[in-house]
Structure 1
């Protein structure tokens, strides 16, 4: 009997960086055979986009960092999980982010008007350091360069994809961890700043061969997406579903 190799894809719920609402907040879903496996980040509007796409709430989420444009919808999710009496959502959180996440979302008194509910009642918190196992996949973490050291992380499924999260260029990381076949989803706007990659950074920091594996996201608006495309780069837009290599 022939065993079918799983097919993987990454579907973007949003690709924006706090610019126009049409872009949505950056978040993506790892799919296996068209079914959602893992939501990456959950900022404002992400939960609605997820439910519109899949007709359900997410069962597992990974957080790259704790800026509100990447975590704010967790407040809505904790209430919906409680009201729908669903099992807790698996929440994979880098160990160094747990205290900050708790302070930002879980300390508000009486998070439900009906009472009797703690923020964490809706989640199965799974602290992660170097890697974690999810649905038989081993996903790896790498530090991003975003604001304070140790405050943001990239997500890597070896041989399949690398998702940078919010970051400055990380050529030293990609040079050491990529197997050569991954699709690299990389933060990039038109103008660089101390916490994000800009268009001019790409050619300076990365080789032309590696740039051919890039798909750019986390830009301000549609005009920025068009400019990145005109510069010769592949750009993700909200709703795009991008096929990924199969695990060998």
Structure 2
């Protein structure tokens, strides 16, 4: 199994794609979140939109879902196969409410989300090519539904989330890598995880971590290398690959 970052930036990133990854198996794939910046990243990897077979949505902020409408339309025109769209049961109605204005009306009459995707509504976990992915409820913005993904024994992917220190320490012994968001800004952002919080974790946990969803400042290779050397942490970037056996 190979995981490749399509983008690692936050909502206001302009020099890199928004945070999303492509997980590739032997015969299928899964994209975690689908911002519009994925189109360019996939083309750079030699892939087309109709190559995407499975998508998981962590939450409904625009920088995580604003490519879904185009993906649905594109696959409807250029592919005979609809992508599977994995949506937590608590998120489905809100997702359709968000996308409905652009997707419901057509020259063939009213449409639903299932006309564009094979909607897979789940409660706790779903499976892709024999691998189980468990949705982990996270705290991002109060009142907003958000989930990370636990893929044992390989990785945990936090999505946008404040730090749940107890949980991260608990699962660190069950996975190889922890992909965790960290805004890397001087300001304290209540809806995200700060570098200070990451650095408060035990060293053995920090050694497993790869930071993502950060500001454009760290697309500068010298800034990125300096921070990694100073902290001992790893920072993801577009097209960074991770392999799991």
TM over 0.5: yes
CA contact (8 A) 2:34 2:67 kept: yes
Summarize the alignment of residues 143-182 of structure 1 with structure 2, pairs less than 5 Å apart.
143-149=137-143, 151-182=145-176
CA contact (8 A) 1:87 1:122 kept: no
In the other structure, the counterpart of 2:23 is 30
CA contact (8 A) 2:8 2:213 kept: yes
Give, in angstroms, the shift of residue 175 of structure 1: 3.3
CA contact (8 A) 1:199 1:228 kept: no
Summarize the alignment of residues 71-82 of structure 1 with structure 2, pairs less than 5 Å apart.
71-82=65-76
CA contact (8 A) 1:160 1:183 kept: yes
Distance 2:122 2:166 in 1: 22
CA contact (8 A) 1:142 1:173 kept: no
Give, in angstroms, the shift of residue 87 of structure 1: 1.3
The two structures, once aligned, show a CA RMSD in angstroms of 2.1
Distance 1:109 1:243 in 2: 36
Distance 2:177 2:240 in 1: 14
- Secondary structure of 1:61 counterpart: strand
CA contact (8 A) 2:152 2:174 kept: no
CA contact (8 A) 2:140 2:160 kept: yes
Choose the corresponding residue for 1:211, options 206, 210, 219.
206
- Secondary structure of 2:29 counterpart: strand
Distance 2:105 2:35 in 1: 18
- Secondary structure of 2:234 counterpart: coil
Q: Please tell me whether residue 88 in structure 1 is matched to residue 82 in structure 2.
A: yes
Change in Cα spacing, 1:110 to 1:124, as seen in structure 2 (3 Å) is: closer
- Secondary structure of 2:121 counterpart: strand
Q: TM-score, normalised by structure 2?
A: 0.87
Uncovered stretches (5+) of structure 2, i.e. residues with no partner: none
CA contact (8 A) 2:55 2:85 kept: yes
Give, in angstroms, the shift of residue 110 of structure 1: 5.4
Count of residues in correspondence between the two structures: 235
CA deviation profile, 1:203-227 (whole Å, cap 9, x unmatched): 22x2111000000010011437626
In the other structure, the counterpart of 1:241 is 241
Change in Cα spacing, 1:71 to 1:195, as seen in structure 2 (3 Å) is: same
Choose the corresponding residue for 1:47, options 32, 35, 39.
39
CA deviation profile, 1:94-113 (whole Å, cap 9, x unmatched): 1111111111112447555x
CA contact (8 A) 1:94 1:127 kept: yes
Choose the corresponding residue for 1:9, options 2, 8, 17.
2
Q: TM-score, normalised by structure 1?
A: 0.86
Change in Cα spacing, 1:61 to 1:110, as seen in structure 2 (3 Å) is: closer
